[in-house]
Structure 1
Amino acid sequence: MLNEKNVRISFDYEPGEMIQVDFVGRKKAKQPFLINAAGTERDYEIFCAVSVKSRKIYLLAIESQAKLPVLAAFVSMLEFYRGAPVLVTIDNFKAAVSKPRRKGKDAELTPEFQEFADHYPFGIKAARVRKPKDKALVENAVGIVQNDVLAPLRNRRFFSLSEMNSAISDLLGELNARPLSGQPSESRNTLFDRVDAPGFRPLPDRPFEAGIWVLKLRAGRDYRVQVAGTPYSVPSRFANEQVRAKLTPTTVHLFHQGKIIATHSREDNSEKPVINPDHMPPAHRQASMARLSGIKSYVHDIGPCAEQFIDEHFRMSRRPDDTPIWR
C-alpha cells in the first residue's frame, strides 16, 4: 500500500479558469543570442504562460523583469489568448509581488499589478515560495519551450527583441499546432478554441495603460507636486493634500483618494514647473499672465513653437498685454 506522501491529486480545470505564468531560466547554451548596437551580447528575459485547460503556451522575450516590461508582457499575453481568465497564478517576482505569500497569508501585489488585475478584471494568485507544484503546468511548459522553441534557435544571433520574438512566434505556432500525445486529432490550438476560449472574458474596449506608481506624495501650498524631479500642478483645492502619481513613459497622472485630478505630459528632472493654468484660482491665473513664464505655461500643451513665439513677442514688445494670448 502506498504511503499518503506518495500519492498525488489531479485537478480538473474549467474553461478559462486559469493561466499560469513563469520566466524561463536563462541557459545560454540552449538559447539564442541578443546582440546590442555595440556588437556585444545583451541580456534578456523569457516570459512563459500556459492556459491550464488546453495547455496552450505563450512565449515572449522581454528586456528585463522590471515592472513596465513585465506588464507589457501580460498585456500581450491576454491579447494572445483573446480574453481574460478568472485567475492568473504567478511566481513571486518583484515586479508583481511586494510581499510574498507566507504562513497562510496571501501575497501582496504591487500597486501597478493590482491596477492591472482590476482593469481586466481577474484575480492574481502568487504561488507559495519554493513550491513549484503550485504552478506545475507552466513549469512543464518551460521545459517544453526550452527544448522545442529556444534550443532550435541557440545558434542564432538577433539584433532586436522584435526580431527574436518573430522567430520565437514561428516555432511556438508550430508547437501549439502539433497533435497532442494520445490525442492525434487535437492540438493545443484546437483544444483551446473548442473548450477553453469560451470561458475567457472579453477584453475591455479601453486598453490598459501601464505605468509606475509613486505613493504618499503631498501637494504644497502652491498646489504643486514634486514627481521624478519636476513640479507638476494640481487643482488649487488640493493644496496640502496627499496624492498619488502614476508615471507612464509619456504622461504623469495625479490622483486624490483614487480619483484622477490632473494629467500632464511627462518631463523628468526639469527645473521648469509643469503648470496647467486652469488649476490656479482666478486671481493667481490673472497675476501669472503678467509674467512671461505664466503666458508660456498657458500655451505649453500647444507645443514648443508656440512657446518660442510667445517668448520672442514678449521680449520684443516688453508688455504682457500686447502678447497675442490676450487678443
Structure 2
Amino acid sequence: MFEAYGGVAHVTVPDCLKQGVTKCHIYDPDLNPAYAQLASHYSTAIVPARPGRPKDKGLAENAVNLVMRYVRFRYRRRRFTSLAEINHALADCIDRINDRKHSRFRISRRERFEQCERGALKPLPADPFEVAEWKDATLLADCYVQVESVYYSAPHIHRHKRLRVKLTETQVEIFLQLERLAIHPRSRHRDGRRISNPEHFPANSQAYYEATPQKLLSQARFVHPDLHQLLVELFNADVYGHLRRAQGLVRSSAKELDAAGRELASARIVGAIATMRRYNKVRVPYFQALLAQARKAPITSNADREIVRRAGNPMLRYAGGAAVSAGHGVNITSPQEK
C-alpha cells in the first residue's frame, strides 16, 4: 500500500483485525509483534479503529463499497477465467474512479491526492519490509535452537536461555530481548540438519569437533572400507549433524567385531550397510537391528540342496533316496532300497 502511494502516512488507521491488533484499546492497544515490526520499519503510528465505533473508521470503508459496486456493474456480463483477469479489471475500475471528478469537490480523487496529500507523506525506506514469523525457543546445551525440525547455533554463553527467533523467507535471526545474537540462512529441509557457526561454540568444543571426525574415520577404516566410505559421505553432507550418528555406527561395528570375529562380523556389517543404502535409511537403531537380525540367521545356507517330493505323497521329501517325513522327522526307505 505504501509503495502504491509512493510514501508513508504519519498515522495508519487499520481495522481491528487479529492479524494486526491483539487487543484493541483507545489509548494503549496491544499490537501483533509482526505488525508492530512493520510499523517500526515504515516509521508510522498504528491507531486501530475500535469495533462498533463508526467515528474511528476512515474513508476507506466507503471506498471499498464504491469499488465493489462499480466492478459488479461494469463486468456484470463477463465471466472471468483467471485471477490475473480479475486484478486487471479491478485496476481498470480504480483508475476510472480516481480520474472521475467528485460531485461535491469538483475535482478528481487523483488530483486531490497529488495537490494536498502526497506532500504530507514521508519517504519510503530504502529496503522493502519483509514479512517475518516470530517463535520462542530455548538454546540447548549443545548451543543449538530447534526451529521447524532444523537446528541453528547461537553463542554458548546464552545456553538454557529463552530466545526469540525471527523467521523470514531467506534467513533466521536469533534475539535475546532486543540484542541479535546470530543470523543464519533459512533451511527448508525439515530433516534435523544443523546450521552452525564455529564461533558460537567454546574453545574445547571446537577442538573436539575438529579432532573427532578424523578419529572416527580412522576407526572406520580399520573396521571395513564400506563403513569408512559411509562415514565420508555423512561428514561431507554435515559434520556436526552426523557426528553422533557416526559414533554410534563405529561403536556398534566394533562390538560386533569383538563378539563374532572379523570374518563373520565384516559380512554382517557389509550387509547392513547395503540394506541401509538400499532403503536410504542411515540410522544407528536400524543398523543395530540389521546386525541382530543377521546374528539369528543360520551360518550355513541350504540354498544349493535339491528337495525332491516323493511321488504320491507331497508331504514326504527325500534327497538321494532317503525320504523324511515333514511332520514327524521319520526316515522312510523306499521299497527298492529294501
TM-score after normalising by structure 1: 0.61
Higher-Rg member (1/2): 2
Residue 38 of structure 2 corresponds to: 116
- 190 and 218 in structure 1: CA distance in 2 versus 1, 3 angstrom threshold: same
Residue 93 of structure 2 corresponds to: 171
- 239 and 124 in structure 1: CA distance in 2 versus 1, 3 angstrom threshold: same
For residue 122 of structure 1, report the CA deviation from its aligned partner.
0.6
Aligned-partner residue type, residue 167 of structure 1: A
For residue 59 of structure 2, give the secondary structure of its aligned residue in structure 1: helix
Q: Deviations over 1:108-159 (max 9, x none)?
A: 1000000100111011111112223311412211211111235534543243
Q: How far apart, CA to CA, are the structure 1 residues paired with 2:172 and 2:182?
A: 8
Asked whether the equivalents of residues 275 and 297 of structure 1 are also in contact (C-alpha less than 8 Å), the reply is: no
The reply on whether 1:225 has 2:178 as its aligned counterpart is: no
Aligned-partner residue type, residue 244 of structure 1: R
Asked whether the equivalents of residues 176 and 187 of structure 1 are also in contact (C-alpha less than 8 Å), the reply is: yes
For residue 169 of structure 2, give the secondary structure of its aligned residue in structure 1: coil
CA RMSD for the aligned pairs?
2.5
List alignment gaps of at least 5 residues for structure 1: 1-76, 301-327
Asked whether the equivalents of residues 139 and 158 of structure 2 are also in contact (C-alpha less than 8 Å), the reply is: yes
Residue 6 of structure 2 corresponds to: 82
TM-score after normalising by structure 2: 0.59
The 5 A counterparts of 1:200-219 are 200-215=121-136, 217-219=137-139
Residue 245 of structure 1 corresponds to: 165
Residue 183 of structure 2 corresponds to: 263
Aligned-partner residue type, residue 210 of structure 1: V
For residue 207 of structure 2, give the secondary structure of its aligned residue in structure 1: helix
Residue 64 of structure 2 corresponds to: 142
Q: How far apart, CA to CA, are the structure 1 residues paired with 2:195 and 2:138?
A: 16
For residue 284 of structure 1, give the secondary structure of its aligned residue in structure 2: helix
The answer to which structure, 1 or 2, has the higher relative contact order (CA under 8 A, 6+ apart) is: 1
For residue 84 of structure 1, report the CA deviation from its aligned partner.
0.7
The 5 A counterparts of 1:2-13 are none
For residue 126 of structure 1, give the secondary structure of its aligned residue in structure 2: coil
For residue 157 of structure 1, give the secondary structure of its aligned residue in structure 2: coil
Q: How far apart, CA to CA, are the structure 2 residues paired with 1:276 and 1:239?
A: 15
Asked whether the equivalents of residues 67 and 93 of structure 2 are also in contact (C-alpha less than 8 Å), the reply is: no
Q: Deviations over 1:192-214 (max 9, x none)?
A: 11110111000111221211111
For residue 171 of structure 1, report the CA deviation from its aligned partner.
1.8
- Whose strand proportion is higher, 1 or 2? 1
